[in-house]
Amino acid sequence: MWRSEPQTRQYVLVRPDVPQEPARDDVIGHTALRYVQGWTEALVDQIIPRFRPTARRALNGQARRQEMIRGILRVMHPQVIVETGTHRGATAAWLATESGVDVHTAELDARYYAYARRRFARRPTIHVYHQPSPAMLASLATSSAFPKERALFYLDAHWHGSLPLPQELQFIADCWTNSVAVIDDFEVPGDPDYGFDDYGPGSRLCSRDMGLDELAGAQVYWPSAPSRTETGARRGCAVIALGAVTTALAELPELRVNRAH
């Protein structure tokens, strides 16, 4: 038989003009509820055909983008791949298959994280993290076992009010060398028909707002394929090379160098 134990009442002075932080138990309860809800939603998603990711949906379903990434893989021979923004895992699966190396991918949304965890439960080379992308990068940067050169980064964690891209780029530039970062949803100079994200003043995914010119030792490239030849979502991208791999990327026909950089 359950018994109700006496509880100590605690009182705090609440000022109506000061925003109050939620109680710790409320935060924990909300987090647990969202976690369970995420796994439940992921189970439902897996039985809905239109939500099942396929290789055709990888990299926004863009055939020219896939050719570009294959070229980068061919010339840099990455030791590891890091993706930010897993969604349902179409791109992570494609990258793992095409490269043959481990893929580390971060997803903040509980629903998409749960979906990806279930999907990749039997693929030990794909590691899914449920945390903000800068936190994952910080963890990988401090791990002595994680390669610090010849890493390929695919950055796609930007969404609505969340824009971790400047932090991601700074982590990569500070902690990795001879590596490449591909940024999805980026403005492509000279080709306005490539789609890109714009979250308002100072938060446009373009070279100026994202500080690409401030990355020491980096070379920026753009896709050489005109948007009219692209398939799928036709989203733009930027490619940032760090270190000696810059020379190898300069020879790829799928890329054109940013002359203004």
| Three-class DSSP labels, 33-93 | HHHHHHHHHHHHHCCCHHHCCCHHHHHHHCHHHHHHHHHHHHHHCCCEEEEECCCCCHHHH
71 neighbors 254 (Cβ within 8 angstroms): yes
Percent of the chain with pLDDT over 70: 77
Share of the chain above pLDDT 90, in %: 72
Mean pLDDT of 125-148: 97
* Residue 245 reports pLDDT greater than 90: yes
The topology (CATH level 3) of 51-257 is Rossmann fold (3.40.50)
Detail the DSSP E strand segments found in the chain. Answer: 80-84, 103-106, 126-129, 151-155, 179-184, 218-223, 237-242, 255-257
19-30 residue pLDDT tens: 444 544 444 444
Of 113, 96, 71, 59, give the one whose Cα is nearest residue 237: 59
**Mean of the per-residue pLDDT values for the chain?**
85
**What predicted TM-score, i.e. pTM, was given to this entire model?**
0.82
Which of 102, 1, 91 lies closest to 53, judged by CA?
A: 91
Q: What is the DSSP letter of 20?
A: P
Instruction: Give the model confidence (pLDDT) of 171-224 as tens digits.
Output: 999 999 999 999 999 999 999 999 999 999 999 999 999 999 889 899 999 999
pLDDT, position 52: 59
Q: How confident is the model at residue 162 (pLDDT cuts 50, 70, 90)?
A: confident
Residue with tokens 């969404």: 159
Smallest CA-to-CA distance from 85 within 101, 50, 109 is with 109
Whose CA is closest to 237, among 78, 97, 96, 72?
72
Give exposure, 25-38, as e/b (b: 16+ Cβ within 10 Å).
Answer: eeeeeeeeeeeeeb
DSSP 101: S
pLDDT value, residue 164: 94
The Cα–Cα gap between 32 and 160 comes to: 24
Q: With beta carbons less than 8 A apart as the criterion, state whether 60 and 184 touch.
A: yes
Using 50, 70 and 90 to split pLDDT, how confident is the model at 157?
very high
> Which pLDDT score, from 0 to 100, does residue 216 have?
87
pLDDT, residue 259, reads 75
pLDDT of residue 32 exceeding 90:
no
